[in-house]
Amino acid sequence: MANDRTDDERVLKLIERVRLLIAIDDDLPSETKLNTQPALKMLESLIAEGEEGGRARAAEYYRYLCAELEDHADASALLAAMRVFAPYL
């Protein structure tokens, strides 16, 4: 039986994966780790709320994360996957 998750739940799961990847990636500079973790938390919070007004702010955090992690293929791929389920990002 297929897992019946909403699109927001799938994005939240991807955020968890990005957070884990950042934590265990030894090649990622500590400064980047420290800068991106709070942004991931805010993005997670805004998506979990599910309010229309939060979508614009969520998109800003998403763009920030994409810019910070653009040189890290694994994290970038997970971020790109989020847009499949949340096109407003």
List, run by run, the mean pLDDT of 10-residue segments along the chain (89 residues): 80 96 92 94 93 89 96 95 93
Closest-CA residue to 59 (of 34, 82, 33, 31): 82
pTM for the whole thing? 0.89
What was the pLDDT predicted at 63? Answer: 97
